[in-house]
């Protein structure tokens, strides 16, 4: 069983999620649906992190919560 929290912690260190990154801007500036931009970024990284389609939504929700609470 995959540890989604651990995977989210690893993925959130990628450039897209850091200050100034694509996803970070979408979440902080509320330009569009932040979850969609997170899912898009996580989907692009699915090969790198060996993610299945079912994993993307769960991990994206965890990342969204973490970004909103920071």
> Which pLDDT score, from 0 to 100, does residue 32 have?
76
Distance CA 58, CA 48 (A): 17
pLDDT digits (tens, 9 = 90+) for 9-47: 999 999 999 989 989 888 888 777 889 999 999 999 999
Q: Give CA separation, 31 vs 8, 25, 53, 70, in Å.
A: 22, 8, 26, 18
Q: Give CA separation, 19 vs 24, 29, 57, in Å.
A: 6, 12, 22
pLDDT digits (tens, 9 = 90+) for 46-57: 999 999 999 999
Distance CA 61, CA 65 (A): 6
Spans of all domains in the chain = 4-68
Q: Is the pLDDT of residue 70 over 80?
A: no
> Which pLDDT score, from 0 to 100, does residue 25 have?
85
Q: Which DSSP letter does residue 15 get? A: G
């Amino acid at each position: 069983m995959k540890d989604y929290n651990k995977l989210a912690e690893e993925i959130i260190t990628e450039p897209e999620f850091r200050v100034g990154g694509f996803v970070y801007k979408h979440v902080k500036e509320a330009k569009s649906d932040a979850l969609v931009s997170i899912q898009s970024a996580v989907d692009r990284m699915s090969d790198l992190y060996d993610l299945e389609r079912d994993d993307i939504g769960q991990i994206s929700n965890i990342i969204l919560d973490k970004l909103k609470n920071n």
